[in-house]
Amino acid sequence: MQIIKNIKDLKKTLEKIKNSNKIIGFVPTMGCIHEGHLSLIDISKQNSDITIASIFVNKAQFAAHEDLESYPREQESDLKKFESRNVDITYIPEDNSIYPEGFSTSISLGDIALVSEGKLRPQFFNGIALIMTKLFMIIQPNLSVFGEKDFQQLFIVRKLVRELNIPVKILNGPTIREVNGLAMASRNTYLSEEELKIAPFLYKSLVEAKNCLLKNDNIGDVLARTKKELLNNGFKSLDYLEIRDSNFKLINKASINNSHILISATLGKTRLLDNIRIE
Ligand code: AMP
């Protein structure tokens, strides 16, 4: 596995690969690699000749009060994990090569960046759109793989490449979970032993809500019940609990089939995200 830190070296390597007409798959990450990330690597490997993974904690998507400084960084073990899954190139850009002094360009996604997760983190998706556009321009991959775990992010990346005519195919991979149902996430490392016992209840409550909705229980009642149960079971707050269709439109009454229940709840100091498809 090649580890590349600067754009010039990456461009040189990519030129050779592109000249040989190889298909390039790209998996962007913020590191602290777990099986969820590695499952996306596997999907990239199945669909391309060369797989590039990146590790970059993107400051543009963090607000001043958020955890940019303390975000888990585990570079050495991340590289071992990538190597074990046969990643061909890991790109670890230096911060000032992505955002050099004087950098001022921004991307505004409009309203979609301000609902659900964006309501709590108004800068988040515009920051993701910026880094994804930059990484797509630098690497120019044929395809790129994203996790369904971050359902709104996946929707937004698809919208971004469509609306900016970025020639990359977006593939998605299912959410990888611990045996107890907890969706794997880098921020799970923030959870205490006690909180780790409570955390799986988030997914359990989603499954329960889905089953009730499929039995045609009233949506309002189901959402209220789910909220109450989460709070009763040790979660500090429910940040949002919504049902959205494949166009990310909020659903209240109409057909719920093929839509997603999206949830975010806070456990101690950690906010957990999850979602489930209703089918
Ligand atoms: P992150 O490092 O958190 O920015 O995530 C990088 C990519 O991994 C994104 O496409 C995420 O959606 C995806 N991802 C994170 N957790 C999981 C998971 N548990 N299962 C599948 N994909 C995931």
pLDDT reported for residue 254: 56
pTM recorded for the entire structure: 0.97
Helix (H, G, I), strand (E, B) or coil at 63: coil
pLDDT value of position 103: 97
Strands (E), 101-216: 143-147, 169-173
- Reading the block at residue 40, the tokens are 């996306």
Q: What is the mean pLDDT of residues 172-194?
A: 97
Contact (Cβ atoms closer than 8 angstroms) between residue 103 and residue 25? no
Per-residue pLDDT averaged across 96-104, rounded? 97
- Compute the distance from residue 186 Cα to the ligand 1 centre, in Å: 8
Which protein residue's CA is at the shortest distance from atom 14 of ligand 1? 147
**Least trusted range by pLDDT, from 25-34, 64-73, 267-276:** 64-73
What does DSSP say about strands 169-173 and 50-55: parallel, antiparallel, or unpaired? unpaired
Checking if the pLDDT of 213 tops 80, the result is yes
Q: Do 103 and 150 contact (CB within 8 A), yes or no?
A: no
Residue 248, SS3 per DSSP = coil
**Digit-coded pLDDT (tens) for 121-147:** 999 999 999 999 999 999 999 999 999
Cβ pair 203, 182 in contact under 8 A:
yes
Instruction: Return the pLDDT at 252.
Output: 79
99, 79 Cβ separation under 8 angstroms: no
Give the separation between CA 216 and CA 188, rounded to whole angstroms: 33
| Average pLDDT, rounded, for the chain | 96
Q: Phi-psi category of 234—alpha, beta or left, where left has phi over 0 and alpha has psi -120 to 50?
A: left
Q: In one letter, which amino acid is 135?
A: L
* Residues of the chain above pLDDT 70, percent: 99
Q: Provide mean pLDDT across the span 194-202.
A: 98
How large is the average pLDDT for residues 61-73?
91
Helices (H) and strands (E) in the chain, counts: 10, 9
The answer to whether 126 touches 108, Cβ cutoff 8 Å, is yes
Listing DSSP states for 141-170 in one string gives: -SEEEEETTSHHHHHHHHHHHHHTT---EE
Q: Candidates 121, 149, 158, 170: which one to mutate for ligand 1, based on the most atoms within 8 Å of Cβ?
A: 149
Average of per-residue pLDDT across 158-179: 98
Out of 40, 82, 131, 274, mutate this one to test ligand 1's pocket (max ligand atoms within 8 Å of CB): namely 40
Residues 235-256: tens digit of each pLDDT? 999 999 999 999 999 987 756 7
pLDDT in tens, 103-119: 999 999 999 999 999 99
**Average pLDDT over every residue of 6-18:** 95
Q: Whose CA is nearest to atom 18 of ligand 1?
A: 36
Q: What pLDDT does 257 receive?
A: 78
Q: Which residue has the tokens 């904690």?
A: 57
CA of 150 to the centre of ligand 1 (A): 7
The answer to whether the CB of 24 falls within 8 A of the CB of 50 is yes
